Chain A
Amino acid sequence: KAGVTQTPRYLIKTRGQQVTLSCSPISGHRSVSWYQQTPGQGLQFLFEYFSETQRNKGNFPGRFSGRQFSNSRSEMNVSTLELGDSALYLCASSMGQSNTEAFFGQGTRLTVV
């Protein structure tokens, strides 16, 4: 069974631009969550999508948005990029029910210059 796949692996953008990241969950998983990982803040929850609906949302500004498609693949979009958005963006997939394991993708390393 294929694992969680994130594309692209690396991305360099300039301030003010927007970016879209993609996450393909494990087959059969309906929940995709997104996290931002930085050295100073650790792993911070962005949002979760389940069956094409945003189920939970963390404390990030509206510049961060996402969506999920009928095949459970998810995209995350960041508009008007800021230097502080430079981070490793990880997605995690799970079945979505309580007490089920979550597995991470390899992440997308975003650098804003």
Chain B
Amino acid sequence: GENVEQHPSTLSVQEGDSAVIKCTYSDSASNYFPWYKQELGKRPQLIIDIRSNVGEKKDQRIAVTLNKTAKHFSLHITETQPEDSAVYFCAARYTGNQFYFGTGTSLTVIP
């Protein structure tokens, strides 16, 4: 099966700085990689995703990069704001609607 590793587990940044979260996956057949943001007590929310035929995708302050050869993908948040504070999960689709999730990164943006 798939195995997804995520680093770091916790991350603190000053407001306005950038945050980077990295994930690696093991199954070369994985072709879809979403990122979810989960605020305390709430459901995971899809914030951005990338498919294996694309190397980079950007949506305002959020970007994701994918290196298929190295089997890793990263989330980049620029100009961080306090409302970006949450737990972020990366995931890799194994098959169908089955995802393997990273263990999460707790991001704190310090005002």
List chain A positions with a Cβ less than 8 A from chain B.
31-33, 35, 42-43, 45, 48, 50, 55-56, 58, 90, 92-94, 96, 98-99, 101-107
Contact = CB atoms under 8 A, between A and B. Distances in A.
Interface of B: 31-32, 34, 36, 42-46, 49, 51, 89, 91, 93-104
Given A42-B103, A43-B89, A102 B97 contact: yes
A99 B95 contact: no
A35 B51 CA distance: 22
B89 A31 contact: no
Nearest to B100: A45
Nearest to B104: A42
Contacts of B97: 31-33, 48, 50, 55-56, 92-94, 96, 102
A90 B96 contact: no
Overall SS of chain A's interface: strand
A86 B8 CA distance: 26
Contacts of A105: 43
Given A90-B44, A104-B44, A106-B42, A99 B51 contact: yes
Contacts of B46: 101-103
Contact of A98 (B31, B34, B100, B104): B31
